[in-house]
Structure 1
Amino acid sequence: MFGLHYRLERKAIGLVFAIIGAASIGGLVEIAPLFTIGETVEQAPDMRVYTPLENAGRNIYIREGCYACHSQMIRTLRDEVERYGPYSLAVESKYDHPMLWGSKRTGPDLARSGGKYSDAWHVAHLNNPRDVVPVSVMPAYSWLLRTPLRTNDLGAQLKALRAVGVPYTDEMIANAPGDAYGQAAPGSPDADGVAKRYGEATTVRAFDGKPGELTEMDALVAYLQILGRLTDAAHTPVAAMGARP
């Protein structure tokens, strides 16, 4: 065996072809399944896109490095399903660019954290985690509550996401700043536009508890509250859901 390897090393062309052959095997294993992805990704007719406010919150989540301690992918292991809920489906991440599945769990998985806690709990937790979880090692993000959310580039963000396949309409892109404000300002004229463009089930409320003042806390809490709730696919029987045609 070693004699063959030594002889091969003396022949540069042969070694190159051997390397190409070995790499091709690995590439085939990784690439071949993609040709059948249409048969394995679930359908989710009720799937909706992130609102501008939720998308802004997602960007803050990435900016602050939250993904370094929290995964967003529940595996099919029994203990994970019992702790976090139904295991994650591929379709649930179809509009995530980049994906935030992760593997590090200094904190709990957040794939199904939406609606698990109140807005007030999230605000208190982000402001000072020890106030609600005494043993928490999570850093405080108190500045989010006093930092106004920048909205002038939200339309450009949605436009960039549309370029990679997220189905934002021209109307959604044009109204992104107003929709971000409206989702955190119930009763305002902008709030009606949010429901019109993103669906009546879209949550509209003052996430940080301060109506009329749009902060980064509003955005991050709005994002956390929608995790696992963009579609009900994970709670639908597989036989009824089917796969993409």
Structure 2
Amino acid sequence: MFGFHYRLERKAIGLTIGIIAAASVGGFVEIAPLFTIHQTVEDAPGMRVYTPLELAGRNIYIREGCYACHSQMIRTLRDDVDRYGPYSLAVESKYDHPMLWGSKRTGPDLARIGEKYSDQWHVAHLNNPRDVVPVSVMPAYGWLLTTELRTDDLDLHLKAQRRVGVPYTDDMIANAAMDAYAQSNPDSPQADGVIKRYGKATTMRAFDGLPSKLTEMDALVAYLQVLGRLTDAAHKSIAQAEAGQ
């Protein structure tokens, strides 16, 4: 076996063919399941899309590299389920471009962090993690509270998401900037428009505690508070499984 390999290494064409063959096997194993994706991914007809504010928060989450220390995929292991809740389903990441499943957990998994803690907790934690978790090694993000959220290009972000399959409507895209402001200021005249476009389940409040100012903290907390709450498919799957036992 080793003699054959040594002889193959001395022949460039043979070695190249061998590399292509080995890579093809790996590629086939990864690509073949995609042809049956519609049969294996759960259906979630009631799943809603991210609001412009939540999508902006997701962009900040990616920009600050939060995905490097936090995964967003609860595994089927008993320990994971006991600690974080129902294991993640593929459909829950249906509108995530890019997906943020991850595998590195310097911090806890965030797939179901939504509404687990108050907005005030998240603001304090992001401002200085040691204030709420003394042993935390997470860096502080205090500038989020003072940095005004850029909204003039939110319509372009929604358009880009629609190009890859997220069902944003023309109305959602046209009102993106206004909806981001209104979601964090529920007393504004535009708040009803957010509910109309994104549904009654949309969380409407000043996430950073300052309704008069739209900050990057508003956006990031809004995103964290919706994680695991775009659909209840995972909880339904568990209920159905328990009913069948």
TM-score range, shorter chain: over 0.9
Runs of 5+ in structure 2 lacking a partner? none
Partner of 2:151: 151
Q: Distance in 2 between matches of 1:6 and 1:138?
A: 49
Task: Return the TM-score normalized by structure 2.
Answer: 0.94
Matched positions, count: 241
Matches within 5 A, 1:127-146: 127-146=127-146
Partner of 2:219: 219
What's the % identity of the aligned pairs? 81
> 1:95-148: per-residue Cα shift (whole Å, max 9, x none)?
111111111111110000001001111111111111111111111111111111
Partner of 1:34: 34
Counterpart of 2:23, as a letter, is: A
- Deviation of 1:213 (Å): 1.1
Q: Distance in 1 between matches of 2:86 and 2:239?
A: 16
Partner of 2:177: 177
Counterpart of 1:154, as a letter, is: L
Counterpart of 1:200, as a letter, is: K
Are 2:105 and 1:105 equivalent residues in the alignment?
Answer: yes
The 1:114–1:8 alpha-carbon spacing in structure 2 relative to 1, beyond 3 Å, is same
Counterpart of 1:91, as a letter, is: V
CA RMSD of aligned residues (A): 1.6
Select the structure with the greater relative contact order (CA < 8 A; seq sep ≥ 6). Answer: 1
Partner SS state of residue 189, structure 1 = coil
- Deviation of 1:57 (Å): 0.4
Matches within 5 A, 1:74-85: 74-85=74-85
Runs of 5+ in structure 1 lacking a partner? none
The 1:147–1:10 alpha-carbon spacing in structure 2 relative to 1, beyond 3 Å, is closer
On the 8 A contact 2:86/2:238 being kept in 1, the answer is: no
Q: Distance in 1 between matches of 2:12 and 2:224?
A: 55
Q: Distance in 2 between matches of 1:175 and 1:193?
A: 9
Q: Distance in 2 between matches of 1:239 and 1:181?
A: 37
Q: Distance in 1 between matches of 2:30 and 2:52?
A: 34
Task: Return the TM-score normalized by structure 1.
Answer: 0.94
Partner SS state of residue 70, structure 2 = coil
Partner SS state of residue 190, structure 2 = helix
Q: Distance in 1 between matches of 2:115 and 2:172?
A: 25
Counterpart of 1:3, as a letter, is: G
- Deviation of 1:240 (Å): 5.8
